[in-house]
Chains A and B, each alone.
Chain A
Amino acid sequence: MITSAANYVSGLANPTRFLNAVAFVLPWMVGITGVLFAVGLFMSFQAPEDYQQGMTVRIMFIHVPSAWLAMMCYTVMAVSAIGTLVWRHPLADVSAKAAAPIGAAFTFLALVTGSLWGKPMWGTWWVWDARLTSVFVLFLMYLGLIALYRAMDDPARAARVSAIVILVGYINIPIIKFSVDWWNTLHQPASVIRLDGPTIHASMLYPLLVMALAFTMLFFTLHLMAMRNEIWRRRVASLRRQAARSVQPS
């Protein structure tokens, strides 16, 4: 079974086979994402208000999934970067390049919703503490990688350079995760992913988990669509080169 799964994954290195697989799974993923968001939003607004934070606690149901996705997206890019440098998988670079704008959007959301939650709870929109600053650095890294991909005409060179930058930048992910433990921050410590289990009451934990699942499905759906667009973009470039060669006098 493991061998057949491995064969299937390696078979997806063929872009045409990958595009066929995407065409098959995409409608299902769009449907599941829509259902998860409908259920998650319903549960989020049914959840009780916090005794201290009041209704602002509802910002948690979009802020926390955005922040998780911001880090998960970079992890997907780091795995793709390894795929580019070690296995030279044809789709690894496509995956990393397609993920960068999506990761930037989720990081932007984490920063904006965090600021909108921070103002009524902390009394300030922003503070340069370790957690907020490291997430802001992550946002800048996403923007830098998008610029890097656009700055180079040769896709193979852009893939190698970007992969190295992505892997070097991955050091920021554990810094984000553990910043609240290593330094004094205004941001609260982890309350869901902890060794001793979540500290959030079930009435708020379940809506949060459903919303996190919805955001994750949204990420994978958009990632597959963006990967398909990138494959088509490279195919168009290749066909144009082929057409230009065919009209050149020999």
Chain B
Amino acid sequence: MSHLAFVSLAYGATALTIAALVGWVLIDQRGRRAELAELEARGVRRRSAEKAGADHVQ
């Protein structure tokens, strides 16, 4: 293999790994947001949020 091939492989592997890492974080983020939205839609809210909401209504 030429030196260019080694350099290209190294930069390609780095780009792929970083893209996979960013993709994993973003997919995880989307999943958690969807779960929180689903719970919110079912009316399940944190007690502190419910209390803040009740205080706001009063």
Contacts and interface: CB of A to CB of B under 8 A. Distances in A.
Interface residues of A, number: 35
Classify the interface of chain B: helix, strand, loop or mixed: helix
A112 interface: yes
Contacts of B17: 105, 108-109, 112
Interface stretch (A86-94, A150-158, A178-186, A227-235): A227-235
A54 B6 CA distance: 12
A162 interface: no
Interface residues of B, number: 31
Contacts, number: 86
A58 B36 contact: no
A236 B18 contact: no
B37 to A, nearest CB: 10
A229 B25 contact: yes
A218 interface: yes
Contacts of B9: 116
Interface in B2-58: 3-4, 6-7, 9-11, 13-14, 17-18, 20-22, 24-26, 28-29, 32-33, 35-36, 39, 42, 44-48
25 contacts: A54-B3, A55-B4, A55-B7, A56-B6, A58-B11, A59-B6, A62-B11, A101-B21, A105-B20, A108-B17, A109-B13, A109-B17, A113-B14, A117-B10, A120-B3, A120-B6, A222-B22, A222-B25, A235-B46, A236-B32, A236-B35, A239-B36, A239-B44, A242-B46, A242-B47
